[in-house]
Amino acid sequence: MHTLNLEVLTPNGSIFNGPVQSVTVPGEEGEFGVLSQHVALTTLLKAGVIDIIQENGQKESIVVNWGVVQIANNVVTVLVDGAVAIRGDSEGEMAKALDEAKALIDSVADSSALIASVSARIESAAHSHLF
């Protein structure tokens, strides 16, 4: 399996760092997926969800409010302003992460359609993570 390295950095530290199978990011011009051997690219991200399929096939979602992604030499570097990873070992932790993620999206997105779609996606991400 070909993998690429993903690094998600916020001003308050790294939120994800490791090899992944694929990653889907919310580009300014639309969502796009990145697999290994992707061409070099630098672009902006808008508020949305980063979907990650990890090396072992496990899925993970990170909600971001703004960012820039740089893809080069099989390394994907995502620099974001604010990010919340939808993960947690218990239902309580998960609920907390969900609330934080929603607050983050509410604070930046100006269209209610975007808020709704992102909210729906993080809910489903949380469900698939838990069950």
Partner 1 sequence: MANLKEIQRQIKSVSNTQKTTRAMKMVSTAKLRRAEELAKRSRLFAQKTNQVIAEIASRIQCNKVGGIDSRCFVQNDAPKSIDIIFVTADKGLCGGFNMQTIKAVKRLIAEYKNKDVNIRVRGIGKKGVEYFTFNQVELLDGVKNLSSAPDMQRSSEFMARSIKDFNDGIVDAVYLVYNGYKNVITQELHVNRILPISIENIDCESVKDSVLELEAFDEEKMLDSLVHKYAEYNMYYALIDSVAAEHSARMQAMDAATNNAKEMVKSLTVKFNKARQESITTELIEIISGVESMK
Whole-number minimum distance, CB 130 to partner 1, in Å? 28
Q: Is 113 in the site for partner 1 (CB under 8 A)?
A: no
The nearer residue to partner 1, 13 or 92, going by C-beta atoms, is: 13
Tokens of 106: 């509410």
Residue pair 53/25 in contact (Cβ under 8 Å)? The answer is no
Residues 8-27, mask of contacts with partner 1 (x by CB under 8 A): -xxxxxx------------x
Sequence-distant (≥ 6) Cβ neighbours of residue 75 within 8 angstroms: 4, 5, 7
Residues of span 70-99 touching partner 1 by CB under 8 A:
70, 72, 77, 79, 81
Tokens of 1: 């399996």
The nearer residue to partner 1, 3 or 70, going by C-beta atoms, is: 70
DSSP state, 12? Answer: T
Phi first, then psi, for residue 10 (nearest 5°) are -120, 165
Whole-number minimum distance, CB 114 to partner 1, in Å? 17
Sequence-distant (≥ 6) Cβ neighbours of residue 73 within 8 angstroms: 40
Question: What residues make contact with partner 1 under the rule CB under 8 A?
Answer: 7, 9-14, 27-29, 39-44, 66, 68, 70, 72, 77, 79, 81
